[in-house]
Structure formats: structure tokens, C-alpha cells
């Protein structure tokens, strides 16, 4: 049994066979008992012969064209392919353990590669790559036409990969993909956000761990606690089965809250809204009784396509969401492409940046590439005729930026008017509060904006100067840090003075522990991933405002993130025991 | 005729990068034709001189003292000479 801990990005617990995706996305059949051991052995030997003669051909070809020193690389590969130890290990696994040749090859070679990586010698660790290369060649031979792509799954699997691109994630077949875990990635990477949107459990940032896994092993993926258990023992499996059953019961009950209005026990109405990425997700918000869309991330119009989206592409997407929401508001955030989610097409603009999270991203990019920005604003203004749209600018760090963005918006309105195109003029314009400078100047901003939305993910990252996707400092990234609580207080005070509404739309509001705190700090609008809406309602309907204020007041006296989070967890356990496990 | 007692010799590894690809490739190539079983030991681990993978996993660095053993055929003496010359000779590194 092997337990790995990463970052939980999408909740839920699933158990199933592992599918390990290498760079070539091979699918390896697990071990199975076959009568025909001799047939399987022969398959392996034939595959090995083919691989060896391929390498020999390469060796001769390269020797003729480039010289013998280059051909030597291939003689080393050939030696490895003909290595007696390696061959006897594989054959033993086929004969004695009845492993399929694919599984035996993968298990043996990955085991050896892992041993080499563990020697602590950089040069030899790199030789492990040769072993992976050999594995890939052998599997290519063995699998032949059996090689499968992600899109051709026929049975349920849990995907383990070094990384998944947002494109790969978006096209996962959720009928068969129970969940996924990746070695790299952070909480706010797009792959993580997509997992939430697809509503499948996911864990990212596991660190290197795939070398010893061949695929087919039983895996428990715990998207609630960010754990992956490989080849669990019986007691662990049973423990997870029990909590899975309990989870299911709680979720079923929570789903029934969809028609319940979210108000506190003393009758204060709390707007619970959804964060969405794709227009289709608006249905999930509506089904769960959301009071609108608090954050519509529009980057997906840019990702995974060759050409820049046209005004019409934007317009159709926005109109679809606005119409589905009817009289409920939809907050459309303008392009927030950041260092971690740049589409190929414009990546060259970011290549030079040493510190991309502090570089040209988000509203800064919009203000520099005005045609891009204007196209989006035109589409929002036109679509706004069909519902209650609001515009939100991300990553605003100075008043000048907000004014510039607003000026461009006015220009666009003028253009539309000149062209006689129908649009909505009375559209609220607000900003994300996610840079500490915006918090410090919240009073000044509050005079000019129509609303604030606190983006806790970036606010925490910038305030604590901590990249959560870097496992060596991820422990510093804490929603419960007293500095973050203080930041939220500052925004609330400024907003109250100028009577401007505030929403929290980061991961913080999706975590039920923080809901009483946020209500106590004065928040009346929370926007969360659609599948968290029922949990959010559960907390809201079980608490009274004085109680939330008492919790917030006490939390603000604590001086360590750990103490804040521990206290909040205890309070949640008292208010909604079902949500704590 | 078989030698009953394995022949043994201690050799200091002269290669600057330790037991890496070049000496390993040479060892495997040159010992392939010997009838006897040739083994190298270092740091509690043993490897067949005919297996590149096992040799790599020895993780022997420059200056390491390797124990070379050969047995099972009457070319053992020649095999040990051969291994010793590869390990001790850096001219081809």
C-alpha cells in the first residue's frame, strides 16, 4: 500500500483501477491469469526481437550518417534491451505471477527505473529515461493496435498522469473516468478548475510517484482530503467504502435543498451563486437553485482553439448563460489569462517573464491588447440585453487601471451607439479584489466601482507571497491566515461606508468551514463551484447571524492560521455535523 | 575442466564519472564471449558483468573498490584480466 498526498481540487471519493498515462498515453492491461503462459512468453520474445532489430537498424543508420560516436548511444540501448537480468525478471513475472507481458514489462522496467532514480546519481537517474524509452518501445510492440486513446475508454478507470492539459481534461469521458490525480499542478490551475466543473474527484501536485505504477492497480482517490492510496489494504478499503456510503447519503440529502431559499435562521437572505467556466454549467447552477452566477470565467473561450474567438463566439456564449439565468444576475469576468493558463497562440508574449505571476496577465494584458479586450466588451454589452449582466475586471492593482478599463468600456459603448447596434448601457461595473494594493486602497476604489468581488485564491497567494502549486511552500498558503481575515475586514468596512455590495468568489467560500466566518464578517453574497452550492446552503440555513458574528469576532482574535482553521472546524462540527468528516 | 574455487581480485575504479555508460558498455561487450560467470561486488551489492542494468544499479563512483569474481569455466583468469583492464583504464572514458 502506498499513500500519496497532494492538493485536493475537486471533492469526492472513488475507488477503481489505475490508468497511467505516459507521454504517449498507453493503456496497460492489468495482470490476469491466462492458461497460455507459453503463448504470452512468446509474445514477449517476439516483441523484444522486433525492438532489438529496430534499435540495430537505427544504430547502423546513425553510424553511417553521423558517425560511430552517435551510434554508440544505440548500442547502449541495445545492451539494455538484451540485458539478461531484465529479460529474466520479465519472464519470471509472466511465468510465475501470470502477469500479462505488458504489465510484466511495465512493472519490471519501472521498478528498475525507480531504483536508478533512487541511487542519488544524476547521471544514472537520467539513464532511467532510457529504460522508460525501452518500456515505451516494448509496449508499443506488445499493444500494437490495442493502443487506446483517452477518448476510447470502455470501462471505469482512475487516471494517474504527470500532467493533464486543460484540453485533455475538458474532453475526459466522465462516464468512464471516475477521477484523476496528477504529479504536478496547483489548486488554481485550469486543470483543477475543470475537474470541479466536470464534478469528478481530483487531486493534483502529488509529486513524482508514477515511476513505480504500471496501471491496473486498485486506487482510492480521495478528492476531499487530497489523498491517493495505491494498492490499499483491506482495512483501508473498508474504511473508504464506509465513508463513501456516508458521503453519498449526505449528498443525496443536500441535493434536496435545491428548492430551499438560502436564508439564515433569523431570516437574513444570503445570495448563493455559482462560479462557472462553460456556458453549459449554468444548468447545474439553476438546477441547484443558485441565485445567479457570481463568477463567469471567460478564458475557456480562448483555450483549446486555434484562432482567437470572434465577437460572435463571445456573444453566443454570454447570451446562452444570461438567458438561462433569466432575472438572476450573471457576473462576467473579462479575460483573466495568467501565467499558468496561457494558450499556445499568445504564449510568446509571456516567454520572457521571469516571474509570470507578477507579469503581463489578466487586466494588464487586456489593457495592452485593446482589440482583444474591445471585442469581448462589445459582446458582453450586446448580450446584456438578454439578461442581468455585470462586468468585472480582474487583478486590478491601481485606480488608474480601473479607470482605463472603464474608459475603454465607454469607447466601446460609443462605437456600438454609432453603429446603431443594440446594447445594454446600464450595466454594473465592478472589480476583483485579489491584489493587496486594492485592499489597502479599498476606500478609494469603493467610490468608483459598483461592486467588489474578493478573489481569495490570488489574494492569499499575493498576500503571503506563496505559490500554492509549489509543494515546498504550499503549507504557507492558508485561507485562515489572520492577515487574510484582516484583508477581508478592510474591504467590508470600505464597501459598507460607500454602500457597495461584496461577494467572495474564491475557493475560500466553497469550503464550508469558512462560511460562518464570512457571514459574520458581513458577506451576504457567496459564489462557489456549482456542486458546493448545496453544502453552502446547508451551513447558511443552520446558522443565525448573531452566531456567525460571534464566530467571526473570536476567529479574528486568534493569531495563527492553524488556530483559526481549527476553531472554525470545531464550530462547523457543532452547526453542521454532517459536513465534517 | 571447471575451476572449483572462484578467482577473485580487487580493482579500484578509475573512471572519473564512476561506473557509467562507457565502461559498462565495454564490460558487457568484452565479457560476453567468456564462458565463465563474472560478477562485480560493491557496497553489499553484486552485479553480473554481462548485465548493464545490474552494473548501473551498483552505483559505483570513482575510486570505489570493486571485488571482481569469476568462476565456472577455465577462462576465468582471462575474464578477470579483461574486467580489471576496463575498470582501471580511463583512456577510453
The pLDDT tens digits of the residues spanning A7-35 come to 888 888 888 988 887 644 455 565 665 56
As annotated, the active-site residues of A are 190, 505
Does residue B93 lie within any of the structural domains?
no
Q: Which residues contact A487 (CB under 8 A, 6 or more apart)?
A: A436, A439, A459, A463
- For residue A85, list chain B residues with Cβ-Cβ distance below 8 A: 48, 51, 53-54
Q: Do domains A271-427 and A432-581 have the same CATH topology?
A: yes
In CATH terms, the fold of domain A37-146 is Enzyme I; Chain A, domain 2 (1.10.274)
Q: What is the ipTM of this complex?
A: 0.83
Residue B93, pLDDT score: 43
Residue A22, pLDDT score: 61
Sheet holding A177-182, edge to edge: A2-5, A227-230, A218-222, A13-21, A157-161, A177-182, A202-204, A7-10
Please determine, for residue A145, whether its predicted confidence score (pLDDT) is greater than 50.
no
Span A400-422, pLDDT tens digits: 999 999 999 999 999 999 999 99
Does residue B45 lie within any of the structural domains?
yes
Q: State which H helix or E strand residue B69 sits in.
A: strand B65-71
Question: What is the Cα–Cα distance from A48 to A245, expressed in whole angstroms?
Answer: 46
Span A291-316, pLDDT tens digits: 999 999 988 787 656 677 899 999 99
Q: List the CATH number of the domain containing B35.
A: 3.30.1340.10
- For residue B61, list chain A residues with Cβ-Cβ distance below 8 A: 121
Residue A134, pLDDT score: 85
Contact A124 B17 (CB under 8 A): no
Nearest CA in chain A to B58: A119
Residue A23, pLDDT score: 45
DSSP A303-329: TT-SSPPPHHHHHHHHHHHHHHHTTSE
Please determine, for residue A561, whether its predicted confidence score (pLDDT) is greater than 50.
yes
CA–CA distances in Å: residue A512 to residues A99, A523, A537, A556: 46, 14, 10, 18
Residues of A with CB under 8 A from a CB of B: 72, 75-76, 79-80, 83-86, 112, 115-116, 119-121, 123-124, 127, 131
Span A90-114, pLDDT tens digits: 999 888 888 888 888 888 998 888 8
At A339, the pLDDT band (50, 70, 90 cuts) reads very low
Alpha carbon of B16: minimum distance to chain A alpha carbons (Å): 12
**Whole-number average pLDDT of chain A:** 86
Span A233-288, pLDDT tens digits: 989 888 888 877 877 788 788 877 777 889 999 999 999 999 998 888 888 888 88
Please determine, for residue A1, whether its predicted confidence score (pLDDT) is greater than 60.
yes
Residue A261, pLDDT score: 86
Indicate the residue of B17, B52, B59 with minimum beta-carbon distance to A79. Answer: B52
In total, the C-beta contacts within 8 angstroms joining chain A to chain B are 47
CATH number of A271-427: 3.20.20.60
Q: How many domains does chain B have?
A: 1
Domain that holds residue B24: 7-88
Span B35-93, pLDDT tens digits: 888 999 998 889 999 898 888 888 888 888 889 998 888 888 888 888 888 888 654 44
Given CATH 3.50.30.10, say whether it is the number of domain A2-26+149-249.
Answer: yes
Does residue B2 lie within any of the structural domains?
no
Span A461-496, pLDDT tens digits: 999 999 877 778 888 999 999 999 999 999 999 999
Query: Distance between terminal CA atoms of chain A?
Result: 23
Does residue B32 lie within any of the structural domains?
yes
Which CATH entry fits the domain spanning A432-581: 3.30.70.270, 3.20.20.60, 1.10.150.120, 3.40.50.970?
3.20.20.60
Residue A150, pLDDT score: 66
Amino acid at each position: 500500500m502506498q499513500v500519496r498526498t497532494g492538493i485536493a481540487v475537486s471533492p469526492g471519493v472513488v475507488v477503481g483501477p489505475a490508468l497511467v498515462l505516459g507521454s504517449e498515453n498507453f493503456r496497460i492491461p492489468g495482470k490476469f491469469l491466462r492458461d497460455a503462459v507459453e503463448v504470452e512468453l512468446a509474445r514477449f520474445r517476439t516483441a523484444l526481437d522486433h525492438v532489438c532489430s529496430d534499435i540495430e537498424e537505427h544504430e547502423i543508420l546513425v553510424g553511417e550518417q553521423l558517425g560511430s560516436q552517435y551510434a554508440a548511444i544505440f548500442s547502449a540501448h541495445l545492451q539494455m534491451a538484451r540485458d539478461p537480468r531484465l529479460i529474466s525478471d520479465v519472464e519470471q513475472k509472466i511465468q510465475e505471477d501470470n502477469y500479462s507481458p505488458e504489465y510484466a514489462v511495465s512493472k519490471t522496467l519501472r521498478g528498475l527505473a525507480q531504483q536508478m532514480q533512487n541511487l542519488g546519481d544524476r547521471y544514472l537517474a537520467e539513464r532511467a529515461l532510457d529504460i522508460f524509452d525501452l518500456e515505451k518501445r516494448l509496449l508499443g510492440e506488445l499493444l500494437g493496435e490495442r493502443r487506446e486513446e483517452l477518448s476510447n475508454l470502455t470501462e471505469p478507470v482512475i487516471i494517474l498522469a504527470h500532467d493533464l492539459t486543460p484540453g485533455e481534461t475538458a474532453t475526459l469521458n466522465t462516464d468512464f473516468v471516475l477521477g484523476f490525480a496528477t504529479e504536478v499542478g496547483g489548486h488554481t490551475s485550469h486543470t483543477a478548475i475543470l475537474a470541479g466543473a466536470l464534478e469528478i474527484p481530483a487531486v493534483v501536485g502529488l509529486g513524482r510517484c508514477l515511476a513505480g505504477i504500471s496501471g491496473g492497480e486498485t486506487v482510492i482517490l480521495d478528492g476531499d482530503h487530497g489523498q491517493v492510496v495505491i494498492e490499499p489494504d483491506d482495512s483501508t478499503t473498508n474504511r473508504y467504502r464506509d465513508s463513501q456510503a456516508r458521503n453519498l447519503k449526505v449528498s443525496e440529502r443536500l441535493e434536496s435543498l435545491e428548492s430551499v431559499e438560502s436564508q439564515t435562521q433569523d431570516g437574513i437572505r444570503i445570495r448563493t451563486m455559482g462560479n462557472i467556466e462553460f456556458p453549459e454549467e449554468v444548468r447545474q447552477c439553476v438546477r441547484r437553485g443558485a441565485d445567479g452566477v457570481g463568477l463567469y470565467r471567460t478564458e475557456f473561450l480562448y483555450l483549446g482553439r486555434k484562432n482567437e474567438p470572434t465577437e460572435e463566439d463571445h456573444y453566443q456564449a454570454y447570451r446562452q448563460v444570461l438567458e438561462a439565468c433569466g432575472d438572476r444576475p450573471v457576473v462576467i469576468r473579462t479575460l483573466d489569462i495568467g501565467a499558468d493558463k496561457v494558450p499556445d497562440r499568445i504564449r510568446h508574449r509571456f516567454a520572457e517573464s521571469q516571474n509570470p505571476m507578477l507579469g503581463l496577465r489578466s487586466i494588464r494584458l487586456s489593457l495592452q491588447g485593446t482589440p482583444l479586450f474591445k471585442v469581448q466588451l462589445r459582446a458582453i454589452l450586446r448580450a446584456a440585453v438578454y439578461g442581468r449582466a455585470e462586468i468585472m475586471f480582474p487583478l486590478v492593482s491601481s485606480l488608474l487601471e480601473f479607470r482605463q478599463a472603464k474608459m475603454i468600456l465607454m469607447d466601446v459603448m460609443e462605437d456600438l451607439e454609432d453603429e446603431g447596434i443594440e446594447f445594454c448601457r446600464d450595466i454594473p461595473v465592478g472589480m476583483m479584489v485579489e491584489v493587496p494594493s486594492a485592499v489597502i486602497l479599498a476606500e478609494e476604489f469603493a467610490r468608483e466601482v459598483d461592486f467588489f468581488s474578493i478573489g481569495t485564491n490570488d489574494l492569499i497567494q499575493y498576500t503571503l507571497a506563496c505559490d500554492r502549486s509549489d509543494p515546498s511552500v504550499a503549507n504557507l498558503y492558508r485561507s485562515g491566515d489572520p492577515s487574510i481575515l484582516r484583508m477581508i475586514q478592510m474591504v467590508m468596512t470600505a464597501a459598507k461606508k460607500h454602500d457597495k455590495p461584496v461577494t467572495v468568489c474564491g475557493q475560500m467560500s466553497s469550503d464550508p468551514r469558512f462560511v460562518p466566518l464570512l457571514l459574520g464578517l458581513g458577506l451576504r453574497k457567496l459564489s462557489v463551484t456549482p456542486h458546493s452550492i448545496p453544502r453552502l446552503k446547508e451551513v447558511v440555513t443552520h446558522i443565525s447571524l448573531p452566531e456567525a458574528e460571534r464566530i467571526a469576532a473570536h476567529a479574528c482574535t486568534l493569531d495563527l492560521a492553524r488556530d483559526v482553521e481549527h476553531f472554525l472546524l470545531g464550530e462547523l462540527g457543532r452547526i453542521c455535523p454532517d459536513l465534517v468528516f | 575442466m571447471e575451476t572449483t574455487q572462484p578467482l577473485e581480485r580487487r580493482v579500484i575504479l578509475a573512471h572519473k564519472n564512476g561506473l557509467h555508460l562507457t565502461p559498462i558498455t565495454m564490460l558487457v561487450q568484452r565479457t560476453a564471449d567468456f564462458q565463465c560467470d563474472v560478477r562485480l561486488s560493491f557496497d553489499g551489492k553484486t552485479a553480473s558483468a554481462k548485465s548493464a542494468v545490474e552494473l548501473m544499479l551498483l552505483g559505483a563512483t570513482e575510486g570505489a573498490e570493486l571485488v571482481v569474481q569469476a568462476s565456472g569455466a577455465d577462462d576465468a583468469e582471462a575474464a578477470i584480466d579483461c574486467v580489471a583492464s576496463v575498470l582501471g583504464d580511463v583512456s577510453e572514458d
